[in-house]
A and B are shown apart, each in its own frame.
Chain A
Amino acid sequence: MSKIRHSFLPTVGEQENEMLAAIGAKNIDELFQDIPSKFQLKTRLKIPEALSEFEVSRRVKEILARNWEPRKGESFLGGGVWPHIIPEAVKTIANRTEFLTAYTPYQAEISQGMLQALFEYQSLMAELVELPIVNASMYDWASALGEAALMTSRVTNRSKFLIPDIIAPNREAVLRTYTQPAGIIVNTIDHDDKTGQIDLEHLKSLINDDISGVYFENPAYLGQLQYEVDAIADIVHDAGALLVVGVDPTSLGILRAPGDYGADIVIGEGQPLGSSINVGGPLLGIFASRDDRSLMRQLPGRIIGVTTTKDSKQRGFVMTIQAREQHIRRERATSNICSNQALSAITAAVYLSLLGPSGLFELGEMILQLRRYAEQKLNELDRVKAPLFEAPHFKEFVVKVETERGGNRSKLSIRTILDYMKRNQILAGIPLDQHFPDLGESALTCITETHTQEAIDQLVEAFQKATEERQ
């Protein structure tokens, strides 16, 4: 075949011949002759011709232009991935080629930068959730939940796991994918319709010594905070089960840390700590646990630890307690995870280092202030109730549209309302009719520090118009 020139391929003409001569081959094709000829591909791959860098850039830009243009409107979508201000310093560091184009730090001495940064990620996260052990990351919150459920089962030798009935549908789906092969039964705990709180009586009636773990989220998927946390922890621990709590880490500057109210394992989504939304990936699965040997032995994922040089003179960092992992333990490993989300973890470490305790507090306070402003304004509208649950919230809340008035059922549906606003360049929320039909014509709306008062006023006005014009 004719040799092609490509700017990513350094070996050209004469060098190729020298290499062939050195190994004693006549041509490149000879190197593939041990492949049975019936399997040797005789036709070209049906993929496009090569493009130049400029052409690739132009082509991709053209295609991406078929998406919605976020700069022309306002989005209030959350539901597991949230818009936040990303400091430029975070982007600069996360784009450093030394971090970006490195592999897993298998050779610790030449990879100290990555190892120390990941150790710092683990350490910063430990401070946030108030648990002493944090791994170097999972893929996302959803798979962290799957792994947490499996871990509770290994630790307790029990095989039932309880989750709240208000949970992100996608997260629950991943949990079921992970737990089903292990024979773990996942059951749901009811909530109080008025407050959105976990029904403690129902939890008590479900819990027994078959339960490996109980999971809840703070904030819950629909934005409400769970405040009876100490009572839940007592119920769970009295039954000898493990308490798993899911968090949005941006709330932990103002909210009590789960480690402080008895969580044995804390998981969550680290994307809001400096990562873009990127249509939902890459994300950052947080995974933390108590310092207890029975838990530690069952942890999934990579973990970085402190050590010294062989001569004990200098501190350094290595991947450690690897006897749990697939490359050593193979079929008896605690998980199959190998590649994780290391760069997203470093991103979070830089973000948290910049914010510090005061930045994180101010961020939480600002989010609360803006969200409560939005709620109040929305609630002033005729046919809108916000928030639906009588409970404290963090950055998300359910907006419910009243569809009936004076006995006449109108045709207002949450989807038509959201569609109407979308035509006016406002993505007002996630419709909840499919997964939470009991909540009526409702949407999940998210407010963060990226939203100005003007943007929130636009949202309120849009809700007003959408609900008025469709009477």
Chain B
Amino acid sequence: MRFQQARWDEALIFERSRKGAVGYSLPKVSEIVRKTIPKPLSKIPKSLRRLSPPGLPELSEPEVMQHFIRLSQMNYCIDLGLYPLGSCTMKYNPPLNEEIIRNPQFSLLHPHQDSSTLQGILQIFFELQQWLAEISGVDSFSLQPAAGAQGELAGVLIIRAYHANNGELDTRREIIIPDSAHGTNPASATMAGFDVVVVPSNQQGQVDLQALQSAVSDQTAGLMLTNPNTLGLFEQEIETIAKIVHKAGGLLYYDGANLNANLGRVRPGDMGFDIIHINLHKTFATPHGGGGPGAGPIGVKSQLVQFLPVPVITFDGKKYILEFDRPKSIGRLHGFFGNAAVSLKAYAYILRMGWQGLQAVSNQAVLNANYLMKQIGNIKGFSIPFAPGVWRKHEVVVSAKPLEHDTGVNARDVAKALLDRGLHAPTFYFPSIVEEALMIEPTETFSKDELDRFIAALHEIAEEAYTDPQKVCKAPQHTAITRLDEVKAAHPRTMALTWRMYQKYQK
């Protein structure tokens, strides 16, 4: 497929500034107000007045529009095609859900309104809490966390609160995390004040039970795990894993980034997990906005409900209640009710899919991942590390090590060459237990034709690598810009993180 991304060579908004231009207009202030308060700034003391205006650019509205629309054309998105970032679950985002949040009876609602005037949205929050609990097999949810990582933090803080409540926090200092875990897991554990103990994966790409057995002790606070794991493999020994951790007195935390294969098939709560966060912007189809906002609701089994972050929305049979008064709660994580608009979109998505639709999502997502594994595994230069012949779930990790060995073309080059074919690249160099890793998650919302286009692109790139490797290493050539120098960006002498710094180092 021929592809050429837009190339606008668009200046920075500051460079387009023209003195005196303005892109904004305010309503008139009535004459009475103007007469009553003729000098609005008169009470602001000198020590607080801004003497020189901020160095913002000056542009008319059409110029601002043009600038940002041009930028938008230099950005790949899910509505353009496959976006197979592993563990990111980039699926189709229903446009209806964007319309729904523009309803003034949502968009103009204020979080400081008393709850009698918020009964509609609280009902939605409450039902969403219930549905997420049903889908994940736990008892109760809070929608506070604003993102997956904040959901993880909530989860580890709950582990902390649980042990503190049992008087064991002083000894239980360790969170066990597999070496294949998402980077946010160990970072969240540290933020919650724990030490991290890493356990290796075994030859099948699963948690090494012996290593786990020797890692647990009376210092174990809990285990953070995702299942299926980041290799896309279902942890078959999950029952034993849960037993080992629980027997040692620890809790099991489920990283819900990888939930898309499980809907209606298997539930973390049933497998023995005590705590789970869910990324609504992954499995539940809310758009990721180029990096956020997402949402990371946190769910727990009944014995941990008292520790959930507040507020939790409850229902007394007549009205929905924002519950703040929970003395053992880990407290608040967000100024208000989390990323409320994201919760509302996820609610609409679940309604749209229904229970059958959700199961169909997982079925198709898993079929797609295995189809890619089979087809890519047949391409010379790529191998499928770990557990040959075992079905993957939501994602598959491919190694470009043979290609790199044979031709010098590495996973990064392959990724960039995919961009040249109008496809987003997979997550690369993760998990670190795979050399030259390409971590691929197709999701359910792409057709066989689109998957075949991806497979054909990899074929073509591999062939090119074996015939003309230099050509692959020059990719991308058809994106808005050619390959970028990441080292230069981070170099102390050339580092420019804002227009301010940029002007300084240009001098």
Contact = CB atoms under 8 A, between A and B. Distances in A.
Interface string B338-350: 1111101001101
A177 B330 contact: yes
Interface stretch (B209-217, B243-251, B291-299, B400-408): B291-299
A36 B109 contact: no
A227 B499 CA distance: 29
Contact of B334 (A93, A105, A140, A343): A140
A167 to B, nearest CB: 12
A47 B357 CA distance: 11
Interface string B348-373: 10111111111111011011101101
Interface in B93-114: 93-94, 96, 98-101, 103-114
Contacts of B51: 256
What 6 A-B pairs have minimum CB-CB distances, sorted nearest first? Answer: A280-B336, A50-B354, A343-B289, A342-B291, A280-B111, A113-B75
A309 B484 contact: yes
B483 interface: yes
A453 B68 contact: no
Given A177-B333, A368-B40, 15 more contacts: A3-B360, A11-B444, A11-B447, A15-B448, A45-B134, A49-B356, A85-B27, A95-B98, A113-B74, A127-B56, A255-B49, A281-B111, A281-B337, A311-B482, A333-B187
Nearest to A145: B335
A66 B27 CA distance: 31
A278 interface: yes
A98 B289 CA distance: 9
Residue of A293, A307, A372 with most partner-chain B CB within 10 A: A307
A128 B120 CA distance: 38
Contact of B486 (A218, A320, A343, A358): A320
B50 A256 contact: yes
Contacts of B200: none
A79 B335 CA distance: 10
Contacts of A47: 131, 134-135, 350, 354-355, 358
B141 interface: no
Contacts of A1: 359
A329 B185 CA distance: 11
A352 B56 contact: yes
A94 B148 CA distance: 22
Given A225-B44, A355-B56, A320 B497 contact: yes
Interface string B125-140: 0000001001100000
Contact of A253 (B53, B80, B361, B489): B53
A281 B489 contact: no
A278 B106 contact: yes
Contacts of A341: 146, 289, 291-293
Interface string A86-110: 0101001101111111111111111
A264 interface: no
B483 A309 contact: yes
A79 B112 contact: yes
Given A277-B108, A320-B495, A335 B187 contact: yes
Given A103-B290, A114-B75, A254-B44, A310 B482 contact: yes
A254 B238 contact: no
Q: Which of B190, B350, B358, B497 has most chain A Cβ within 10 Å?
A: B497
Greatest chain A CB density within 10 A among B113, B375, B484 is at: B484
Contact of B290 (A75, A92, A99): A99
- A15, A45, A78, A370 — most chain B CB neighbours (10 Å): A45
Contact of B77 (A56, A101, A230, A331): A101
A63 B120 contact: yes
B121 A67 contact: yes
A175 B363 CA distance: 42
B192 interface: yes
A453 B23 contact: no
Interface residues of A, number: 212
8 contacts: A32-B266, A32-B391, A77-B113, A113-B71, A116-B71, A256-B50, A343-B291, A372-B36
A127 B105 contact: no
Range for the number of chain B residues in contact with chain A? 35 or more
A171 interface: yes
Interface string A108-147: 1111111011111011101110101110110111110000
Given A95-B98, A356-B57, A339 B294 contact: yes
Given A6-B357, A279-B121, A132 B75 contact: no
Interface in A292-306: 293, 302-306
A20 B367 CA distance: 7
A176 B331 contact: yes
Contacts of B425: 106-107
B64 interface: yes
B29 A370 contact: yes
B105 A70 contact: yes
Interface stretch (A185-193, A359-367, A406-414, A459-467): A359-367
A109 B483 contact: yes
A283 B335 contact: yes
B485 A310 contact: yes
Interface string A348-391: 01101111111111110110111011001000000000000000
B466 interface: no
B334 A174 contact: yes
A202 interface: no
Given A4-B360, A170-B335, A22 B24 contact: no
Interface string B45-79: 10111110111111101001101111111111111
A314 interface: yes
B498 A122 contact: yes
Given A75-B110, A92-B65, A314-B482, A373 B36 contact: yes
B164 to A, nearest CB: 10
Nearest to A6: B357
Given A77-B113, A110-B5, A252-B54, A229 B47 contact: yes
